[in-house]
Structure 1
């Protein structure tokens, strides 16, 4: 049976920082969703399995064939869909054969079924394109679908997929989710897409403590985690009660020893007992009382370790919690008006045509539409980064745009310095307190933005925008969940539900839109 086995696997970053160690796990012919917080090493683990990196410790054993879909597909100059299938030469032979210019050897080797099989593979991912289509002409989501079709085309025993639904529009996401739901081979899928994780046979969670398997899909996993979190809170409560009881016991033993020592000194002062006998009793009392105090102190240390262990489990199990100040947006207040707006990046070639929109009060509006329909262009227009070709944009309030690159942050500065730049006059303690709410505690707040992962960067952007004393009345978000892990998505959902300003969000993540209470959806035509 095909299998991928991890044996005491460990890997360290180039700077020597240990990412994970001692992983023992076996992947078989089932679809496993690999989850975990950003930075814990999910993509690195896939790279080790794919042979793209060398383990620091242990090894990976693969029994079967694997195919890899990478997170970022940057096409080479002139590359076409045929190159993804490694079929350019074979298709060229068929073209020569049809034109009557192929050699006899080429005709003998000609695979006449190849074009139809490639067409079927592309249709499986709902992509209307032909093998000669240049990859540079496809959107990021279309390239992802083409790459997935090519991976499946090789009929592997295992698929390794890193965030396969990132950057896909609704049609593309549905196609990938449906395809993986039909897949009966092995698959290791790094994803935060809850709809995709619902189709998995099992969930594997990678944490700082190791890797653990949970049978069933996303819903089964969350139910189990809720039970584990309740157990961790129970263990913490029990450990704290034990520590308090031991503290009282240690205090009592210490006081008793002090009373005995005081009584011995008074007896010695009276002189009613031989000196040698007094010395023996004193030594016995000191030894007996001291041993009891030492035992109690050791038990106290063990209780403190139990408390620390329970708190560490809760830290891993419990989602981030964020509290935000008010944006002070009154109901009925006009936040944004678009009046018959036409806009684009190239003169005489608009992407948006005759768009009208009004947002009043703390509305929550989702902008949907296929890739290429102009969703990101609309957000840039509202933010003031782009001027309309026709029509009027009226935005009487401040806003903040968090695009997919989080361009509002200076990558050369620390998170703390970026926060201080956006909120002048904020004390250093207040900066660190605000960032701590987004899990950038202590030295983590001093990280240079350019060194952060995609998910960490977006979380830092949200912290810098929403963590100040007065959040902007209008927040624009462009695919905010694309690079976030599931815990961070839960935290952002909680934070955005605490945000009481107006919200305009571009997202294909239906679960996310439902969780943040979207009140209106506007679909842009293609």
Structure 2
């Protein structure tokens, strides 16, 4: 299969002068390729460099055509309309002025572009699942996250690139949207690159490129094959590090033993010389020869020790494996008959109802998933339960301590450090107590002082859980809104493990099917019908 993109020795520096990535090389072919890696390693920056949105510090790129990058989120500009996102606003405005009677030649020149593009615009909207009655003057930010992605996807189709790069494309899509996008990826003939941790999506790719602090690793095959190869590589790096550590200890021990033996021989030689009555000149010559020999041996031992130190330092630098996340949730056991959440005729929405009235009472450690298409108001329902939105009708009650975890950690200040966020939300703690709590989740010393927004997704998750779940009151109900959207694979796996041991009740919104499959659901609530289904 022909190579489409060839990257050689790419480097990108941050504003502080540090390299985000350095001297990475790889190729992509006329196929579906995934780029994976830990949060913060530079995947999105790399993608923007490939598309020409950012400038590399060094390296060379060769491609067989134009590249179009689709970001994780639409621009947060409330004034940006749908038609402006597509770059067609001046042409549409001119066409509408002509309809109203304009005879200006400039309007006809601009309107010609709209008349040429209108059919393609509607076709792109149909491809991505947007309605033909779409209000093109509506602000992009007024749509749900999944709808915003569909708009950016349609705009990418209109751009007619030779290569698509999608950054976390499935984060906000509902089940129908995911299937629609996955089918398009499968059938599209042009090369496609996806940056993703979505295991369903990664199972469909032809190759995986793993970006690490030490370079880029190519893995042909699925996500399971990639994880197996990655773990084998990590084990080899760990074995090399263990061997280097043992060698350094052995060299240090041998150096000490040799020094002690040399001192003993020197002492015995001096005593024998004095005992046998050798003249001073001969004794001085023997001493000088001995010292020369000792110096040569000492230099050799020092060289060996330096070599062992360098080997260990190199092994430490090459090791990519990081200590696994430990997310031990507190004991929050519930009595099976304890009422946790009750809703009576509850209707939620912003300005207008999103769904039918909901009524139920759930007891004990239930696990409820809220389902429904994009824009149906799943997040609004959870935020209403948290009293962030008023109910349109009905009422509800939470009977146990509750914690909310959303995909963006909006309730944490990205500019403040982990310890500052923790103390702000747990003011009863002293700074020492807060640091001890962060140390329990391996955020120690200077790491606790890093700005929350600069921590990796896994580190942010640990900070949130340490802050919200390890407080003086143990939460017995977790409300989770797409919690895995911005986590890397290892963070998702750690969260799955933690939630599998959690003994409290759980309400979750998630389109991540492999993640949901680990939660042992007991109920499903489908919107907008408001049907509650008890699972066997």
Q: Which TM class, normalised by the smaller chain length? A: 0.7 to 0.9
Q: Does 1:218 align with 2:250?
A: no
Indicate which of 250, 259, 266 corresponds to 1:254.
259
SS in 2 for 1:393: strand
SS in 2 for 1:316: coil
Q: Distance in 2 between matches of 1:521 and 1:309?
A: 52
- Going from structure 1 to structure 2, the CA distance change for 1:129 and 1:442 (only over 3 Å counts) comes to farther
- 1:442 alignment counterpart: 445
Q: Could you report, residue by residue, the CA deviation over 1:206-236 in whole angstroms, capped at 9, with x for unpaired residues?
A: 1111222211232221121122233233333
- 1:11 alignment counterpart: 12
- 2:500 alignment counterpart: 497
Alignment of structure 1 residues 303-322 onto 2, 5 Å:
303-310=308-315, 315-316=320-321, 319-322=324-327
Q: Distance in 2 between matches of 1:200 and 1:180?
A: 9
Q: Distance in 2 between matches of 1:53 and 1:367?
A: 39
SS in 2 for 1:200: coil
Q: Distance in 2 between matches of 1:280 and 1:523?
A: 96
SS in 2 for 1:379: helix
Unaligned runs of 5+ in 2: 530-536
Q: Does 1:339 align with 2:333?
A: no
- 2:380 alignment counterpart: 377
Q: Distance in 2 between matches of 1:483 and 1:224?
A: 24
Indicate which of 413, 417, 421 corresponds to 1:418.
421
- 2:31 alignment counterpart: 30
- Going from structure 1 to structure 2, the CA distance change for 1:63 and 1:175 (only over 3 Å counts) comes to same
Q: Could you report, residue by residue, the CA deviation over 1:70-113 in whole angstroms, capped at 9, with x for unpaired residues?
A: 22213766755444444556678888999999999879978978
Alignment of structure 1 residues 14-413 onto 2, 5 Å:
14-74=15-75, 81-87=82-88, 114-130=117-133, 133-136=136-139, 137-270=142-275, 272-310=277-315, 315-316=320-321, 319-346=324-351, 349-411=352-414, 413=416
Q: Distance in 2 between matches of 1:411 and 1:489?
A: 21
Contact 1:10 1:58 in 2 (8 A): yes
Q: Distance in 2 between matches of 1:470 and 1:280?
A: 80
Contact 1:323 1:437 in 2 (8 A): no
SS in 2 for 1:4: strand
Unaligned runs of 5+ in 1: none
SS in 2 for 1:444: helix
Which deviates the most, 136-145 or 104-113? 104-113
SS in 2 for 1:246: helix
Q: Could you report, residue by residue, the CA deviation over 1:279-313 in whole angstroms, capped at 9, with x for unpaired residues?
A: 33333334434544444454344445544554555
- Going from structure 1 to structure 2, the CA distance change for 1:91 and 1:266 (only over 3 Å counts) comes to same
Alignment of structure 1 residues 466-485 onto 2, 5 Å:
466-468=469-471, 471-485=474-488
Q: Distance in 1 between matches of 2:437 and 2:311?
A: 30
Q: Distance in 2 between matches of 1:401 and 1:387?
A: 17
- Going from structure 1 to structure 2, the CA distance change for 1:178 and 1:276 (only over 3 Å counts) comes to farther
Q: Distance in 1 between matches of 2:449 and 2:145?
A: 33
Contact 1:97 1:107 in 2 (8 A): no
Q: Distance in 1 between matches of 2:129 and 2:165?
A: 20
Deviation at 1:341, TM superposition (A): 1.9
Q: Distance in 2 between matches of 1:358 and 1:308?
A: 59
Q: Distance in 2 between matches of 1:383 and 1:233?
A: 45
Q: In angstroms, what is the RMSD of aligned CA positions? A: 3.5
Q: Does 1:508 align with 2:503?
A: no
Q: Distance in 1 between matches of 2:349 and 2:162?
A: 45
TM-score, normalised to structure 1, is 0.86
Deviation at 1:418, TM superposition (A): 1.9
Deviation at 1:203, TM superposition (A): 1.1
Contact 1:352 1:378 in 2 (8 A): no
SS in 2 for 1:230: helix
Q: Distance in 2 between matches of 1:70 and 1:173?
A: 17
Contact 2:212 2:320 in 1 (8 A): no
